[in-house]
């Protein structure tokens, strides 16, 4: 399965809807993830290979169409997380102060943790300065997230701001 992942990732063949079950099995095996569901045109990649690049998935994670996750710095995605269509997640940036040519500038990495039951809405953008998206947090569609989202917060806008806090029992571990 790992060989299949290396051969087919990023190719149009790997994005055909008819190959959904095979694609999910390949991703589950390659990333050692239970019940990972990956839609068409998902792009998981480190943009740069500096230091430790890794991505890990909890149980029952959904990555919808055209999701892009840069794991130049480590990304940890918890259990029962949904990443909706068109979401972009970045874990690195370039220094603007050390070189005139940005391609030679210092790369600054930022690890990211997305806690259990988080939901990231369609076309949201998670910028590198975000260290954590908390338990049960909701990112509204189209939001541009620039800082940590605390547990149960619902954030939206550009830059994302707290809209409300979900009114759920804090001890309720729903499945």
Starting at the edge strand that comes first in sequence, how are the strands of the sheet with 125-126 ordered? 43-45, 68-70, 88-89, 125-126, 144-145
Q: Which of residues 21 and 123 earns the better pLDDT score? A: 123
Quickly state the pLDDT bin for 151 (edges 50, 70, 90).
very high
> Which domains occur in the chain, in start order?
35-165 (2.160.10.10)
When pLDDT is averaged across residues 36-62 and rounded to a whole number, the result is: 83
Mean pLDDT lowest among 26-30, 97-101, 152-156: 97-101
User: Over 60: is that where the pLDDT of 75 sits?
Assistant: yes
What was the pLDDT predicted at 16?
64
**Catalytic annotation present for 92:** no
Among 30, 48, 92, 94, the active-site one is 94
pTM over 0.75: yes
What was the pLDDT predicted at 175?
44
- Residue 146, Cβ density class (10 Å: 0-12 exposed, 13-18 middle, ≥19 buried): middle
N residues, the chain? 175
């Amino acid at each position: 399965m790992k060989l299949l992942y290396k051969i087919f990732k990023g190719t149009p063949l790997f994005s055909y809807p008819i190959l959904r079950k095979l694609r999910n099995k390949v991703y589950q095996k390659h990333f050692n993830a239970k019940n990972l569901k990956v839609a068409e045109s998902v792009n998981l990649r480190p943009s740069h290979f500096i230091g430790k690049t890794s991505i890990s998935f909890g149980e029952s994670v959904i990555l919808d169409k055209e999701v892009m996750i840069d794991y130049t710095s480590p990304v940890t995605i918890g259990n029962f997380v949904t990443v909706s269509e068109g979401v972009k997640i970045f874990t690195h940036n370039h220094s603007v102060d050390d070189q005139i040519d940005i391609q030679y500038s210092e790369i600054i990495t930022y690890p990211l943790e997305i806690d259990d039951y988080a939901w990231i809405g369609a076309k949201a953008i998670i910028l590198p300065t975000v260290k954590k998206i908390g338990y049960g947090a909701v990112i509204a569609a189209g939001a541009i997230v620039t800082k940590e989202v605390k547990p149960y917060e619902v954030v939206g806008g550009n830059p994302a701001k707290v809209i409300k806090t979900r009114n759920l029992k804090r001890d309720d571990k729903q499945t």
